[in-house]
Structure 1
Amino acid sequence: MWQDKMNVEGGMTGRNTLQGLLVVSVEQAVAAPYCACKLADAGARVIKVERPEGDFARNYDRAARGESAYFVWLNRGKESIALDLKDSDDLALLRRMISAADVFIQNLAPGAAARLGIGSEALRAADPRLITLDISGYGEEGPYRDMKAYDLLIQAETGLAAITGHPAGPGRVGVSVCDIAAGMYGYMAVLEALLERAQSGGGKAIQVSLFDALADWMTVPLLHQVYGGRAPGRVGLNHPSIAPYGAYAAADGEVVVSIQNEREWLRFCSQVLQRPGLAADPRFADPSARVANRAALDAEIAAVWERLKRAEVVARLEAAQIAYGRVNSLADLAAHSQLRRAPVDTPAGELELVAPPARLVGEAVELGRVPALNAQGAALRREFARGNTQAANTPGEAAQ
């Protein structure tokens, strides 16, 4: 049992942390694959169950040398098997895989897993050690339970779009924040359940929804609305309640500047703007006044910055020890000196991904390969064939 491995003297590190853990994931799109990917990165054996035509994220784009950028990002280190869950033999095979698993993840439509006989309640009744994770759009109950939910829809429903963008209109956050948030919460909850199981021997039934995940991230603006009577307005690339904290245009590009206290405000006026008297202007004398008079403040800053190259603005900010960030393009990010990368093997050949954010000091980053559709299908069918008592003890053609 995997929980017994946790007690071995000296422990396990790096990609071996979850070695011996079997995860079966009936997954598609982003949220569930993100969670399962993190478990695979930590050394778990993850079997990705795809529909016969494959996870539809395989066809989102062809940006990564013919492969989907989404799929390459989310499915490294997994084994792939294509199953038709309407076929009784394939469904029986899935059940045998789950019976050997430590963790079962699914993000089918609400109620679909139960109708197939692989709902959390039935599975955990048969195996109380099993940890199940159900990821959905709005949760397993409530009036929105059966609504279809995708990332942009949840950005709109949770009010995120209403506080994002320019004053002229709402905007979308440019990455799948709802899916990523739900996948992160699922990953954290699975790890907590594994730790508890190591002590108690019992598993957990976990439910995470995209809506709940983003609602948590929306807590601060929600508190402003509920207790302050108004939501933060859309202010483009600016902070809604601090000024100056936003993007200002130099002659050849934008720079975001952040003033967090009055000492920085004085240095900003004297060293960056080279207008020390501005700090005493009654319109800008304290943080609240600067926010209330943001338009006038922005005009004062713009009058100075528009005459300067971005490099000169940055030099002044650094000399004054003022926090800043360049408004970079994706091409700038691709060439960024701080960007860490790691190679990954894919059906299209080797690609470079962003390295996992959590660094394990002294350990190299190694990412498992991205599987082709059904790449391990034949091996998994043999491994989990009816009557095979050795199932799950040794991986088949594992995606290492």
Structure 2
Amino acid sequence: MNALDGIRVVDLTHAISGPTCTNALVQMGADVVKVEPPHVGDGFRHYTEHAGEPLLSVPFASINAGKRSIALDLKTEGARNAFWKLIEQADFLVENYRPGVLSRLGFPIEDLRRRNPRLIVISITGFGQSGPLAQWGAYDHIAQAISGIAALGAVEGEPRKIGLPIIDSFTGYIAVIAALAALRRRDASGEGEHVDVAMLDAALKLANQTVSVHSYTGRTPGGTGNKGFRMVPTSEFYPTGEGWIALGANNQAQVEAMLRVLGEEAMLADPRMADHAARVANYDFVRGWLEETLSRWSAEDLETRLTAAKVPAAMIREVGQIVEHPHMAQRGSIQAVDLPGHDRPLATMGPGFPVDTAERHRVPVLGIDGEAILSELGYDSRQIEDLRNEGAFA
């Protein structure tokens, strides 16, 4: 049995943050009905510059497999009536429009919850439902910029964004946590609620330790580049004679073990290497010494030897190198989904933890499940054809 068997989600989301939330819900067993504009669909369907086919980009496929798609033009009366029927049967509505858009479409939050008091509405925005920035638009790099995360990654004064939409994705997972908490409260009270999730809040949650450091010291932490969080040179990225290695020797036992692996135990007698405070105070010396020493090794050999000695370390890999690693296959973290028009399955990540399910999901063609969903709502073939003629449904 899946954790969310019997739970129905109306998915009125697009791009990354909202679909990431509903992606996790479907992977835990929920029936997710994705409502999309006819002919165009979720704009993320068109991100084919990365990979994919028209209306079925691979980025879209990665976070929408397993959902059912219905194409409704919510500006038409017929589509709005069908949407209300969906809402009456739903446990969740997840949406990531700007504040006020749902109301302009004719679905104010209060009306949604009046029509279905058990409904949990998850609203995901850039900056939240209230506050001076509420109407600002946001993409992932905008959230990285305003939250201070881009500044924290600065190198020589130049801000650097993280090279993937990490805030979008993390916001989606914050929304999952919020959804499950709201479902638990509804189990106890019988009442749904409206949950307000913001990308800026999620970004600052990622930077939580830095927020607290600023609160305590009054100082804004500067960019750290590839430095580790403890700011010690024995826990950073280094070039080797072949490849790059990430070292994680943060405490004294790890540093001593690392020096034994390197055959350099004598360095502990150098006062500049003797303890953590000395290594931080003499950063340039320790960094330079490690660069010269590690240049005589390969990253692969170092990874093998250091991890065997219980020192955290890893070669710097590309994504393709790790997804094909036997470790990932053993854990079952990567799932195969069916991509229409392709003979071989598409690899995508599960919910982030192993799940026991035999079901293999497919990526939905725009509107492919529309007739089946309308039939479930009580529409007969004539009424469905009327909706199609009205332009409400495609």
1:258, distance to aligned residue in structure 2 (A)? 0.9
Q: Could you tell me how far apart the structure 1 residues matched to 2:358 and 2:142 are?
A: 35
* Equivalent residues of 1:347, 1:370 under 8 A apart: yes
Matches within 5 A, 1:236-275: 236-243=225-232, 244-269=234-259, 271-275=260-264
1:233, distance to aligned residue in structure 2 (A)? 3.1
Matched with 1:396 is none
Task: Determine which of 377, 392, 396 is the counterpart of 2:370.
Answer: 377
Task: Determine which of 325, 346, 355 is the counterpart of 1:351.
Answer: 346
Shift in CA distance, 198/240, structure 1 to aligned 2, threshold 3 Å: closer
* Equivalent residues of 1:151, 1:179 under 8 A apart: yes
Matched with 1:118 is 107
* Equivalent residues of 1:273, 1:301 under 8 A apart: no
Can you list the C-alpha shifts for 1:156-192, whole angstroms capped at 9, x where unaligned? 0100100014334211112212111221111112112
* Equivalent residues of 2:27, 2:350 under 8 A apart: no
1:229, distance to aligned residue in structure 2 (A)? 3.5
1:213, distance to aligned residue in structure 2 (A)? 1.1
Matched with 2:29 is 43
Matched with 2:279 is 290
Unmatched tracts of structure 2, length 5 or more: 382-394
1:151, distance to aligned residue in structure 2 (A)? 0.9
* Equivalent residues of 1:355, 1:365 under 8 A apart: no
Q: Could you tell me how far apart the structure 1 residues matched to 2:228 and 2:131 are?
A: 34
After superposing the two structures, state which structure 1 stretch, 83-92 or 346-355, moved more. Answer: 346-355
Aligned residue pairs: how many?
371
Shift in CA distance, 93/253, structure 1 to aligned 2, threshold 3 Å: same
1:383, distance to aligned residue in structure 2 (A)? 3.3
1:241, distance to aligned residue in structure 2 (A)? 2.3
Q: Could you tell me how far apart the structure 2 residues matched to 1:334 and 1:157 are?
A: 32
Give the TM-score, by structure 1 length. 0.87
Matched with 1:23 is 9
The amino acid of 2:348's aligned partner reads L
Matches within 5 A, 1:1-400: 13-14=1-2, 17-52=3-38, 53-61=40-48, 63-66=50-53, 67-243=56-232, 244-269=234-259, 271-340=260-329, 341-349=334-342, 350-360=345-355, 363-364=356-357, 366-384=359-377
Q: Could you tell me how far apart the structure 2 residues matched to 1:215 and 1:331 are?
A: 29
Q: Could you tell me how far apart the structure 1 residues matched to 2:181 and 2:351 are?
A: 20
Secondary structure of 2:33's match? strand
Q: Could you tell me how far apart the structure 1 residues matched to 2:185 and 2:155 are?
A: 46
1:276, distance to aligned residue in structure 2 (A)? 2.2
Q: Could you tell me how far apart the structure 2 residues matched to 1:260 and 1:375 are?
A: 53
Q: Could you tell me how far apart the structure 2 residues matched to 1:78 and 1:199 are?
A: 28
* Equivalent residues of 2:50, 2:59 under 8 A apart: no
Unmatched tracts of structure 1, length 5 or more: 1-12, 389-400
Shift in CA distance, 49/158, structure 1 to aligned 2, threshold 3 Å: same
Identity %: 32
Q: Could you tell me how far apart the structure 2 residues matched to 1:80 and 1:156 are?
A: 34
Q: Could you tell me how far apart the structure 1 residues matched to 2:158 and 2:26 are?
A: 40
Q: Could you tell me how far apart the structure 1 residues matched to 2:360 and 2:283 are?
A: 47
Q: Could you tell me how far apart the structure 2 residues matched to 1:330 and 1:315 are?
A: 19
The amino acid of 1:153's aligned partner reads I
* Equivalent residues of 2:51, 2:59 under 8 A apart: no
Can you list the C-alpha shifts for 1:330-388, whole angstroms capped at 9, x where unaligned? 3322432222332101223321223442224xx34534211000111223234335699
Q: Could you tell me how far apart the structure 1 residues matched to 2:360 and 2:153 are?
A: 34
* Equivalent residues of 1:24, 1:103 under 8 A apart: yes
The amino acid of 2:364's aligned partner reads P
* Equivalent residues of 1:32, 1:105 under 8 A apart: yes
Shift in CA distance, 111/283, structure 1 to aligned 2, threshold 3 Å: same
1:62, distance to aligned residue in structure 2 (A)? 5.1
* Equivalent residues of 2:17, 2:172 under 8 A apart: yes
Q: Could you tell me how far apart the structure 2 residues matched to 1:319 and 1:376 are?
A: 52
1:120, distance to aligned residue in structure 2 (A)? 1.9
The amino acid of 1:77's aligned partner reads G
After superposing the two structures, state which structure 1 stretch, 331-340 or 28-37, moved more. Answer: 331-340
1:149, distance to aligned residue in structure 2 (A)? 0.8
Q: Could you tell me how far apart the structure 1 residues matched to 2:127 and 2:110 are?
A: 19
After superposing the two structures, state which structure 1 stretch, 374-383 or 209-218, moved more. Answer: 374-383
Q: Could you tell me how far apart the structure 1 residues matched to 2:324 and 2:370 are?
A: 39
Secondary structure of 1:170's match? coil
Q: Could you tell me how far apart the structure 2 residues matched to 1:318 and 1:33 are?
A: 37
Tell me the C-alpha RMSD between the 2 structures. 2.1
* Equivalent residues of 1:265, 1:279 under 8 A apart: no
1:321, distance to aligned residue in structure 2 (A)? 2.7
Shift in CA distance, 40/318, structure 1 to aligned 2, threshold 3 Å: closer
Shift in CA distance, 293/111, structure 1 to aligned 2, threshold 3 Å: same
Give the ranges of 4+ consecutive aligned residues of structure 1 lying more than 6 Å apart after TM superposition: none
Can you list the C-alpha shifts for 1:80-129, whole angstroms capped at 9, x where unaligned? 11121222221221112111211111111210102223222221123221
Shift in CA distance, 29/264, structure 1 to aligned 2, threshold 3 Å: same
Q: Could you tell me how far apart the structure 2 residues matched to 1:295 and 1:348 are?
A: 56
